[in-house]
Amino acid sequence: MEAISRRFFLYLSNNKVLDRLAKRWGSRFGADKIIGGENFSQAIPLITQLNQDGFRVTVDHLGEFVNSVEVAREHAQECIQRIRAIGYHQLNTEISVKLTSLGLDISNDLVMEHMELILSAAKESGITVTIDMEDSSRCHAILEIFKTLRRKYENLGTVIQSYLFRSEKDMDDLQQFSPYLRLVKGAYKESGKVAFLDKQMVDENLKHLIKKNLLNGHYTAVASHDDAMIDYTIKLVEEHKIPNDRFEFQMLYGMRNQLQSDLMEKGYTVRIYLPYGEDWYGYFMRRLAERPANVAFALKGIFSK
């Protein structure tokens, strides 16, 4: 049943008609419970409150698979404005970016131009930028861009997905950069040619990647709501006496709030992944695909209005 549910919501995530409807009726589908607003200004009070409550944040302007140079430039400028606003309001937040929103599918030169501008602005403000991972067809290009930029900018991290066969080799290739890595299971629809389709294998590979990156001494963000994965990480760092400033837990805004608070109260760093923007539909569907329990959350969002 879980596999069927995952395939169903991943299929819905690519439905353009539903995407258009979602933009019109977002709040009625619970979108306001998992995103920070339609623009960054609306998200600022929420980030401020999260910081006051002891959480760190990473913000993501929703939108991907851009095929227009003009739209890609708009996304880049929005990102730079977001960085300036973070500095002005002294928010404890990083930013996450999707390269397809900045022109990856248009040209390498375009996305590199945009990332140089973004990273320069972020460096001036002391802000870390994480390049989000996307589907497997773009994985190689994303990591090559990360390597090129990481030689120049230290304020840069990226993501490794445990459901891809290639992930351990990718991690090995990145070791020379002492990378800041966000480790996740993965949320795109992939074939058995490139990805583990068995949940247990995905979970075991994520544990393996967490252990490998931590024992290699690199900063590790464990991005999971899975109790077993969190317990594994805690036991691992205790066993190997890894200090708390070498890792953090990352969780989605609006998901498992009590667990987030419990971890923070125990002294662990917890970072909330806070998306915002109108293009929330695909993101929401992938969250439902990741965790069947989120379906009940979505239904509650619909009928509580």
pLDDT of 130 above 90: yes
> Per residue in 161-185, pLDDT tens?
999 999 999 999 999 999 999 999 9
Q: What is the mean pLDDT of the chain?
A: 87
What local confidence, expressed as pLDDT, does residue 34 receive? 78
269-290 b/e (C-beta count within 10 Å ≥ 16 → b):
bbbbbbbbbbbbbbbbbbbbbb
Catalytic residue among 132, 135, 170, 203: 132
Q: 164-172: long-range contacts (C-beta < 8 A, 24 or more apart)?
A: 164/136, 164/139, 164/190, 164/194, 164/195, 164/196, 165/194, 165/195, 165/196, 166/136, 166/139, 166/194, 167/205, 167/209, 168/205, 168/208, 168/209, 168/212, 170/139, 170/143, 171/209, 171/212, 171/213
Q: Which pLDDT score is estimated for 303? A: 42
Catalytic-residue membership of 182: yes
The long-range contacts involving 24-28, CB below 8 angstroms and separated by at least 24 positions, are: 26/278, 26/280, 26/281, 27/305, 28/302, 28/305
pLDDT in tens, 24-53: 554 445 566 778 888 999 999 999 999 999
pLDDT in tens, 70-107: 999 999 999 999 999 999 999 999 999 999 999 999 99
Residue holding tokens 């095929």? 67
Check residue 7 and give its pLDDT: 56
* Residue of 182, 256, 271, 287 marked active site: 182
Q: State the pLDDT at residue 33.
A: 73
Least confident interval from 18-22, 154-158, 223-227: 18-22
Could you tell me the domains of the chain? 35-279 (3.20.20.220)
Q: Catalytic: 287? A: no
Q: CB under 8 Å to 285, separation ≥6 — which residues?
A: 9, 10, 12, 13
